Homo-oligomer: A and B are copies of this chain.
Amino acid sequence: MAAQTKPVLHGYFRSSCSWRVRIAFALKGIEFDQVSVNLIKDGGEQLTEQYKTLNPMQQVPAVEIDGVTLSQSLAVIQYIDETRPGPRLLPADPKKRAQVRMISDLIASGIQPLQNLYVIQKIGSDKLQWAQHFIDRGFQALEPILKQTAGKYCVGDEISMADICLVPQVYNAAERFDVDVDQYPTIKRINQTLNEVEAFKVSHPSSQPDAP
């Protein structure tokens, strides 16, 4: 009865990819257990041999669910969506699904990896400028795309995986890397709307048990 066991999220309160998975669980109303993997303490708990068996990439999140261990947040979110009832995280219409995935990947492949902790650590100097450059570059592309796809949320009027990716990325931009989000009115407006939604509130880093 693996499906009746609560999923376990190995993550970190401030990791944007862990945050994405928390939002997906919350939107679906799925209870889960959290195990904190402190990315800073002792050089990073994600680097231990024990954690490496959960995710050989030595990144968070890793999710134990239905007898398998999955990493990569978008793979986890789509697995949840395909196996659990509750509100759809991807729309039924194939073109809208493609737009949701396009926006999600623009953030998950085009922005987030370039301002991730392990990349920033490799940059000698100008860490802040590096992160700002790639976030601004991504947001400059995302803004006109959202102008075409958005309704109340990123794609139309239903919350989707694209929104799940947007909120943590805007938080990183504004709170960690001092990017001026006022330059991107559509991004800013959707982010503000989403931050009022209960599933996003309970998933916020500041509400997690491992937040200082």
A178 interface hit (Cβ, 8 Å): no
Pick the contact of A114 from B58, B71, B113 — CB < 8 Å?
B113
Q: A70 to B103, alpha carbons, bound, how many Å?
A: 10
Q: Which of A10-55 contact B (CB under 8 A)?
A: 55
List chain B residues, Cβ under 8 A from A145.
56
Pick the contact of A72 from B76, B79, B95, B109 — CB < 8 Å?
B109
Summarize A's interface: helix, strand, loop or mixed: helix
Q: Flag if A72 contacts B106 (CB, 8 Å).
A: yes
Q: Flag if A57 contacts B110 (CB, 8 Å).
A: yes
Q: A68 to B149, alpha carbons, bound, how many Å?
A: 11
Given A71-B102, A98-B76, does the pair A112, B114 have CB atoms closer than 8 Å? no
Q: Mark A160-177, 1 if CB is under 8 A from B, else 0.
A: 000000000000000000
Q: A82: nearest residue on chain B (CB-CB)? A: B94
A interface residues, how many (CB within 8 angstroms)? 45
Chain B: minimal CB distance from A133 (Å): 7
A5 interface hit (Cβ, 8 Å): no
List chain B residues, Cβ under 8 A from A112.
109
Q: A74 to B70, alpha carbons, bound, how many Å?
A: 18
Residues of A near any B CB (own CB < 8 A): 55-59, 66, 68, 70-72, 74-76, 78-79, 82-83, 94-95, 97-99, 101-102, 104-106, 108-110, 112-114, 119, 122, 130, 133, 137-138, 140-145
The 8 A-B pairs of least Cβ separation, nearest first, read A75-B101, A56-B141, A72-B105, A79-B98, A57-B141, A75-B102, A109-B109, A72-B102
